Amino acid sequence: MIRNRAVTGRVRDSGASGSQASLRVSSRVHGYDVIRGLAVISMVGFHFCYDLATLKGASIPWFRPPFQDVWRASISWTFLIVAGVMCSYSRSNLRRGVRYLVLALVIFAVTTIAAVDTPINFGIIYCMGASTLCAWALDSVGAFPRGPRGLALSALVFAMLFVLCLGVPSGTIGFAPFGGPFLRLTRVPYDSRFLSWLGFPGPHFSSGDYYPPLPFSLLYLSGVSLGCLFRSIGTPRWLRRLSCRPIEWVGRHALPVYVLHQPILLAITLLI
C-alpha cells in the first residue's frame, strides 16, 4: 500500500522551492522517520486484517466501512504528505521518481502472475513516482513560490484541491465523499479507457490498490510545499524532538517492508 525512502540527512543550500542546488550536511529530522514508521506498522496491520477477511473469510465485524476507509486513508495520506516533504531532501527527484515507477511496474507484473488477489495497477508506488516527477517538473520551471507566506498558501491550496477532487475517480468533483454538494463529471474521459493512469478509470479497469495522480498528487504537492516551508522557517521543534528508535528503524526501511510484508502476511494467513 505504501512506503517512502528515508530522509537523506542533507538539505539544499538555496531557494525554498527545493530546486536542484548544492547540498550541505544537516542533522537528521527523526520525527519524519517516526511518523513514517507508525504509518508502516499501521499498514501491516491493515493488510493483515484485509487478508484474513478477504482470503480466509474471517469474521472481523469492525473491519468494514466507514472505519476501514478511514484507516486506509490515514495510512496512504500520511505517506503521500511525508513523501512530498522529502522532495526537498532528495538529491535527485528525477531519479527518485523513475525508481518508484520501475518498482510499480515490477509490483504490477508480480501481482498479475501470482493472481492471489486483484493485480495492483496504478497503486501507491506508481502514485509516488508520478507525483515525484510532477514535483520535479514544476520545480524545474520555478512553479513553487519561495517566500514563507506563498509556500503556506501553496500547501493550503493543494490540500483544498485534493479534497475537492477526491471523487474524480468515481466521476464527481466536490464534497461527495463527505456527503456534501458535488458536480457529476462527464463520462467522456472514463469511456476512453486510456486515462485510468490519470484518475479516470475505464469501464473494465480494476486494481487492488488504486492511487491515481488525480486526486492524490495534489496531496503530495501539498507536502512538497510544506517541506519547502519548513526549510524556509525551520522545522517545528516537536518534529525535531520526536524520537523512538525502533519505530524510526521501521520508517527508514519503509520501502523494503512494503515490498516484503505482503508475501509474509499471505504465508501467515494460509497457515492459520
| 36-91 pLDDT tens trace | 999 999 999 999 999 999 888 889 999 999 999 999 999 999 999 999 999 988 88
SS3 state of residue 95: helix
Note the pLDDT tens digit of each residue in 76-131: 999 999 999 999 888 899 999 999 999 999 999 999 998 878 899 999 999 999 99
At residue 242, the pLDDT reads: 93
Quote the pLDDT of residue 103: 95
The predicted structure's pLDDT at residue 27: 62
141-157 per-position pLDDT tens digit: 999 998 999 999 999 99
Which stretches within the chain are classed as H helix?
A: 30-55, 67-85, 93-114, 124-140, 148-164, 188-191, 213-233, 237-241, 245-252, 254-271
Give the 3-state DSSP-derived string for 48-79, with helices as H, strands as E and coil as C.
HHHHHHHHCCCCCCCCCCCHHHHHHHHHHHHH
Using alpha carbons only, give the angle 89, 150, 5 rounded to the nearest 5 degrees. Answer: 20
Q: Is residue 131 exposed (0-12), middle (13-18) or buried (19+ Cβ within 10 Å)?
A: buried
The yes-or-no verdict on residue 24 having pLDDT over 90 is: no
Please tell me which residue, 11 or 205, carries the higher pLDDT value: 205
